[in-house]
Structure formats: C-alpha cells, structure tokens
Amino acid sequence: MIAIYPGSFDPVTLGHLDIIERASRLFEQVIVSVLCNPRKSPLFDVPHRIAQIQACTGHLPNVAIESFTGLTVEYARLRGAGVLLRGLRVLSDFEKELQMAHTNKTLCDELETVFLATSTEYSFLSSSVVKEIAQFGGMVDHLVPVNVAQDIYRCFNKTPPAATPNITP
C-alpha cells in the first residue's frame, strides 16, 4: 500500500520526521508531498523544502519526496496511493483534519485518510513555533533536524545559541 503524506513542511520538524519514520514501518511506500500553496508565503521555497526532507530521510529507503499543486485526491489517484496520511497533535487539529478527511472522502471514496497520533514529546511542535523561536535567535536544535536548524539560522541571519533579549523599559 502506498501512502501519501501531504503538508507544507515549512520547514520539516522532528514531529514530521517522527510521523514519516513510523509510517515507513507501516506502509510499503510513503510519499512525502510538499504542498505548493499559492496563498501562503513560505520561508523556504518548494525545492529547498524537498532538499531539507531528503537530507534527513536518506536512511528510509521506502520514502520518497516530491511536490504537487492542485487537489490532493487527484494527486493520490495519479500516484496510486490508497492512504492519505496526516498527523494529529491536539484537539484543534482534529476538527480541521476530520472536516478535510470527510471532504476528501466525498471526492474519492477509495482514498482512506489515516491519522497517526503525535509522539508525546512533539505534541506542541509546529513549523510556526520553530520559525518564531529562530527569528529571535532562540535554540531550535532540539525541534528540527540538524540541516534544517542550520538553514533556518542562516535564513534569519542569526547564530545560535539564543541572543540576549532586548528589553525596552
């Protein structure tokens, strides 16, 4: 069974990587699909996000990375995928994800959405949290793969560890 794991991955975090590693043990092939969303202005462009994920998933032979635009269900059909994989962290994820799963089911009955629960240590972790910390020079090494931490500091022109906070009375 082929599973697609679509998302923004801007950038990929250890939470995403945990889902990818666990999924690679459950499915014959996992395709991590980087969404090219014209409505979002990402920190990293799509080729860069693909390269970042490739660099930290090289040890997983049944994982491939690519990008797509358009309807996820059509993309899944083209790839012959039977599973659309998503991760769940908190209750607020659930509402949005369930709505999306039901919508996709109306568009393609054969595609099953499968949710993997986050590992406890990553339940707070999102790409936005990482970007917020990094832009103020905070430590993100424990939140993202090493290559991504380097990219993100370069991008924000910061050097780890955390810079002294600038307090204005």
Minimum gap (Å) between residue 33 Cβ and ligand ADP: 10
Rg of the chain, C-alpha, whole Å: 17
| Contact flags string 58-97 toward ligand ADP, x per CB under 6 A | ----------------------------xx-x---x----
Q: Strand (E) positions, 82-149?
A: 83-88, 112-117
Nearer to ligand ADP, 107 or 163 (CB): 107
Query: Applying CB under 6 A, which of residues 122, 130, 151, 152 lies at the interface with ligand ADP?
Result: 122
Query: Could you say whether residue 8 binds ligand ADP (CB under 6 A)?
Result: yes
Q: Would you say the C-alpha torsion 161, 57, 69, 3 has a positive or negative sign? A: negative
Task: Determine the angle formed by the axes of helices 127-135 and 146-155, rounding to 10 degrees.
Answer: 50
User: Judging by DSSP bridges, how do beta strands 83-88 and 63-68 pair with one another?
Assistant: unpaired
Interaction site with ligand ADP (CB under 6 A): 7-9, 13, 15-16, 19, 86-87, 89, 93, 118, 122, 125-127
Catalytic residues: 16, 40, 89, 127
